[in-house]
Amino acid sequence: MSTAGICPEWDLIIKDEWRGVWIFVETFDGEVNEASLQLLNPGRMIADKIKAKLVGVMLGHNIRHLVREPIYYGADEVIYVDDPALSTYTPEVYAETLISLVRKYKPEIILAAGTLRGREMIPYVANILRAGITADCTDFDVDVNTRDLIMIRPPFGATLLAHIRAPERRPQLSTVRPNVFKLPSRDVSRRGELIEEKVDVPPPRIKLISSEEVKVEEVPIEKAEIIVSGGRGLGSPEGFKLLEKLAELVGGVVAGSRKAVDAGWIPHERQVGQTGKSVKASLYIAVGISGAAQHLFGIREAGIVVAINNDPEAPIFENADYGIVADYREAVPALIEEITNRRSR
């Protein structure tokens, strides 16, 4: 049996040798990923509690002009590798490069955004290092005595929160979906150390033959300012046509609950909630959505929530700023008419 990549010395973890909180900061198309920078928010809290350094870690090619960004958002220092071999993302190559840095610096905690890349390469890192990983955390705490990260997330289907530790292993890894935490404020006067590392980046075992950009016409829901969201209460895909009209009128996009996705009325990339996306729209209009905990999780960072539901007891009303108790087939056309009339006055 091949033991390549397995790290037997990891069975002899001396926890005191492991120090520091790392945020893996992704770059893409010459920009720093905002979801990664959001993690400097919980990262700062954790680092302060255990009196550790908060470090941004960046991999890529031609990224030198970006490496100060994590510092502006709160990191104490940035370790980065800028290498042509990292110009194309391949999970194995990125993961192995990060592993080399981990073996050198021994950080006790690594947080990464639950983006497509993060969800792919961070479990790879955890597996090779035989370290504990918890995906989709919604909050963190830390035990200041043991320095164990307490990774908090909703367990399957429950309204409770699970508190998870990986006490025997270092590093402790965790991913967080975009928009769970707010972006810290940017301060370009902040200073911090920049450390460029040279790593023997392993050659990829796969070859990219071609890549094609998929044109997405609509604004992704995680970036939308106004969202009109529909649930099972719409009763049919036709209900979404009505929501599209309203969304177009108010300059918003359409999203939905998991039940609406399961029914095939709206694609999964437009699902809001625990197993969908977290949104931070300033206006969220929930139509025919009951307000289950897993759905509400996705609108924690939303601004004003308006609920339209024909059941006055629906839990969504407890979480809404404005509520309309009505059949949506009456309420939505009435809203469309009112907005249209006011604009033509």
Ligand X SMILES: Cc1cc2nc3c(=O)[nH]c(=O)nc-3n(C[C@H](O)[C@H](O)[C@H](O)COP(=O)(O)OP(=O)(O)OC[C@H]3O[C@@H](n4cnc5c(N)ncnc54)[C@H](O)[C@@H]3O)c2cc1C
Identity of the residue, 107 or 178, whose beta carbon is nearer to ligand X in the bound complex: 178
Interface residue list for ligand X (CB under 6 A): 156-157, 231-233, 257-260, 271-276, 288-290, 292, 294-295, 298, 308-311, 314, 327-329
Residue among 94, 147, 149, 148 nearest 122 (CA): 94
Phi, psi of 169 (to 5 degrees): -115, 155
| Shortest separation between residue 237's beta carbon and ligand X, angstroms | 13
Per the document, the length of the chain is 345
Identity of the residue, 100 or 310, whose beta carbon is nearer to ligand X in the bound complex: 310
Structure tokens belonging to residue 325: 């108790």
Identity of the residue, 206 or 334, whose beta carbon is nearer to ligand X in the bound complex: 334
| Shortest separation between residue 318's beta carbon and ligand X, angstroms | 12
The residue written with tokens 């292993």 in the block is 169
Neighbours of 208 (CB within 10 A): 9
CA distance 329 to 345: 25
Structure tokens belonging to residue 23: 């945020």
Identity of the residue, 74 or 276, whose beta carbon is nearer to ligand X in the bound complex: 276
| Shortest separation between residue 203's beta carbon and ligand X, angstroms | 39
Identity of the residue, 20 or 298, whose beta carbon is nearer to ligand X in the bound complex: 298
Residue among 56, 54, 61 nearest 28 (CA): 61
CA distance 121 to 135: 12
Identity of the residue, 169 or 177, whose beta carbon is nearer to ligand X in the bound complex: 177
Identity of the residue, 20 or 231, whose beta carbon is nearer to ligand X in the bound complex: 231
Which element (helix H / strand E) includes 342?
helix 328-344
Identity of the residue, 280 or 295, whose beta carbon is nearer to ligand X in the bound complex: 295
Which element (helix H / strand E) includes 105?
helix 91-105
CA distance 43 to 23: 7
Residue among 169, 172, 114 nearest 138 (CA): 114
CA distance 244 to 217: 14
Degrees to nearest 5, angle at CA 251 with 228 and 320: 35
Identity of the residue, 41 or 274, whose beta carbon is nearer to ligand X in the bound complex: 274
| Shortest separation between residue 159's beta carbon and ligand X, angstroms | 9
| C-alpha dihedral, 93 to 65 to 111 to 257, nearest 10° | -100
DSSP one-letter code for 16: G
